[in-house]
Amino acid sequence: MSGRSNSFVVVANRLPVDLETAADGTREWKASPGGLVTALSPVLEEHQGCWVGWPGVADEAPEPFTTDNGVLLHPVRLTNEDFEAFYEGFSNATLWPLYHDLIVTPIYNRDWWDTYREVNLRFANEVAAVAAENATVWVQDYQLQLVPGILRQLRPDLTIGFFLHIPFPSPDLFRQLPWREELVRGLLDANLIGFHLESNARNFLELARTQGLTVEGEVSTREVTAHIVTNSGHSVGVGAFPISIAASEFAEGGDTGDVAQLRAELGNPAHVILGVDRLDYTKGILQRLTAFEELLETGALNPEKVTFVQLATPSRERIDHYRATRSKVEEAVGRINGRFGRLGAPVVHYQHSSVPKDVLRRYYRLADIMLVTPFKDGMNLVAKEYVASHSDGSGALVLSEFAGAAAELTQANLCNPFDIESIKRALLSAVKALEESPETMRERMTAMNQQVRQHDIALWSQSFLGALDQEQA
């Protein structure tokens, strides 16, 4: 259905689909399962909603269609040049490093900014064309920060929510951005701006203060008790809404025989250590490999007894820093296996591809220790997926203090990924604790498991949309 008939519209850079080409050359759009689509599908269904976004292939814009799981999609066309300047450029080589506290240096390129504005306008136009009178629009993430402002001009009748999936930096860092005023103005035209953490939201309020705007109230979680009042008198709610996962999908059940078989395939190590990430420089993959290597070197870990499995999804592969990270990670894997593995028995198993969800779940179940070591991460769903996979209390989570998830998973073995010694200490203490005080570890994992089950993705979307409803009232 097209035209202005949708009373709930989600707009995100990507549509939840992938284009699949069969052996006979026929092409088909397949729903790509993901946390966001799982969380939003019931809401989309209830409100006769739709999803606006880019289908993931340059120069392709199929007519609106409905996925096999019933979500109506409105594709937005991006050319190859748009993809380079808007997505790889401004979104991922400017905003991504700036918002992740300058782990690498952001590139400020005026042409990229022009394309970012043009593409945001295109997304907003598409939303304006399909949203019903007085509809609710939920704008997702850093690629679309100008959309609320453009939409407010085009369709003052809409209720607009914005959620940022990555961290929001301190005003001191944000001030670097040459287009800072316009970007913030775009966001402030929403009715509600949501962040994962209260600290992210406080950074945003502080920024608003430095721009001379009035801030009322203090930030809280899953409700809105803080507002920014703009010069035109518009009041926008600001709050923390920590995202989560469909926890029940990761809960045990199914065939545990598979897990035992997987351990046997890895040579029946006493301890399996697991890393699962998009291959991104923010995730600290090289640092965790270095920590592992040094523990093998000193004999603190025995290569005959431990195995490290690293699953890495290819990501943003044409951007220089991503290419450099991949090559350093792969060099480290080769070196560690050369030093400590044997033929047919590597000590690090590394796969540079996505794995199906059921395979991923089996690895989570198998892993005795999960290593999650980002330098900075909005939330980190992998940590929550691992915890949700261990409702029997088994396993241990080593988690970076700089992952948003650390605010909730307080029983993890926390580490500072900028300090290799800290990663080594946390990993070693997890290994020791599993051997020497399994009961304590079980209690800690059980507590984290309950936290994730009680705060799942449905709570996230309900609390955000409930708060947005209040803001509109």
Task: Give catalytic residue positions.
Answer: 165, 377
- Per CB under 6 A, which of residues 152..181 are in contact with ligand ADQ? 165-166
Report yes or no: 395 and 382 within 8 Å, Cβ to Cβ.
no
103 binds ligand ADQ (CB under 6 A): no
Which residue's CB is nearer to ligand ADQ, number 262 or number 428?
Answer: 262
**CA-CA distances (angstroms) from residue 131 to 51, 62, 74?**
10, 19, 11
Q: How far apart are the first and last CA of the chain?
A: 28
The alpha carbon dihedral of 427, 444, 350, 282 has a sign of negative
Per the structure block, which two tokens stand in for 465? 């949309």
The nearer residue to ligand ADQ, 232 or 353, going by C-beta atoms, is 353
Q: How far apart are CA 112 and CA 125, in angstroms?
A: 20
Is the sign of the CA dihedral 116, 120, 121, 123 positive or negative? positive
Count of positions on this chain that bind ligand ADQ (CB under 6 A): 19
Which residues, at least 6 apart from 421, have a Cβ–Cβ distance to it below 8 Å? Answer: none
Q: Please tell me the distance from the alpha carbon of residue 252 to that of residue 268, in angstroms, as a whole number.
A: 21
**Contacts of ligand ADQ in 318-357 (CB under 6 A):** 354-355
Segment lying near ligand ADQ (by CB under 6 A), choices 117-125, 208-216, 274-282, 459-467? 274-282
408 binds ligand ADQ (CB under 6 A): no
**Residue 314 CB, nearest approach to ligand ADQ (Å):** 9
Residues 173-232 binding ligand ADQ (CB under 6 A) are none
Which is closer to ligand ADQ, CB of 14 or CB of 202? 14
Considering the complex, what minimum distance in angstroms separates the CB of residue 373 from ligand ADQ? Answer: 12
- How far apart CA 56 and CA 198 sit, in angstroms, is 32
Which CB sits closer to ligand ADQ, 123 or 386?
386
Give counts: helices (H), strands (E), the chain.
16, 18
CB of 143 to ligand ADQ, least distance (A): 12
Q: How far apart are CA 321 and CA 323, in angstroms?
A: 5
Between residues 126 and 277, which has the closer beta carbon with respect to ligand ADQ? 277
Question: Running DSSP on this structure, what letter comes out for residue 144?
Answer: G
Question: Measured from the CB atom, is 17 or 296 closer to ligand ADQ?
Answer: 17
**Which of these segments, 80-88, 234-242, 380-388, 444-452, binds ligand ADQ (CB under 6 A)?**
380-388
Q: Using CB under 6 A, which of the segments 69-77, 207-215, 377-385, 446-454 binds ligand ADQ?
A: 377-385
User: Does residue number 380 form part of the binding site for ligand ADQ (CB under 6 A)?
Assistant: yes
Residue with Cβ nearer ligand ADQ (275 or 346): 275
- Residue 382 touching ligand ADQ (CB under 6 A): yes
Sequence-ordered alpha helix ranges (H) in 19-146: 35-46, 80-82, 96-99, 110-130
311 binds ligand ADQ (CB under 6 A): yes
Stretch that binds ligand ADQ, among 18-26, 71-79, 273-281, 289-297 (CB under 6 A): 273-281
- Please give the Cα distance from 110 to 55 (Å, whole number): 26
- The single-letter DSSP state of residue 342 is B
Among 82, 126, 293, 385, binds ligand ADQ (CB under 6 A): 385
Q: Which stretch binds ligand ADQ (CB under 6 A): 142-150, 261-269, 272-280, 444-452?
A: 272-280
Site for ligand ADQ contains 278 (CB under 6 A) = yes
- Scan residues 6-35 and list those touching ligand ADQ (CB under 6 A): 35
Helices 35-46 and 457-472 pack at an angle, to 10 degrees, of 50
Nearer to ligand ADQ, 189 or 385 (CB): 385
Rounded CA separation 363/309 (Å): 9
CB of 163 to ligand ADQ, least distance (A): 8
Kindly state the smallest distance separating residue 178's Cβ from ligand ADQ, in Å. Answer: 24
Exposure class string for 199-229: b at 16+ Cβ within 10 A, else e: ebbbbbbbbbeebebebeeebebbebebbbe
CB of 136 to ligand ADQ, least distance (A): 20
Please check whether residue 384 is in contact with residue 359, taking contact to mean a CB–CB distance below 8 angstroms. Answer: no
Q: What is the CA radius of gyration of the chain?
A: 23
Strands 6-14 and 306-313 come out as: unpaired
| Binding to ligand ADQ, residues 356-375 (CB under 6 A) | 360
Instruction: Establish if 377 lies at the interface with ligand ADQ (CB under 6 A).
Output: yes
Please, which residue, 94 or 380, has the CB nearer to ligand ADQ? 380
**Which residues make up the interface to ligand ADQ (CB under 6 A)?**
35, 165-166, 243, 276-278, 311, 313, 354-355, 360, 377-382, 385
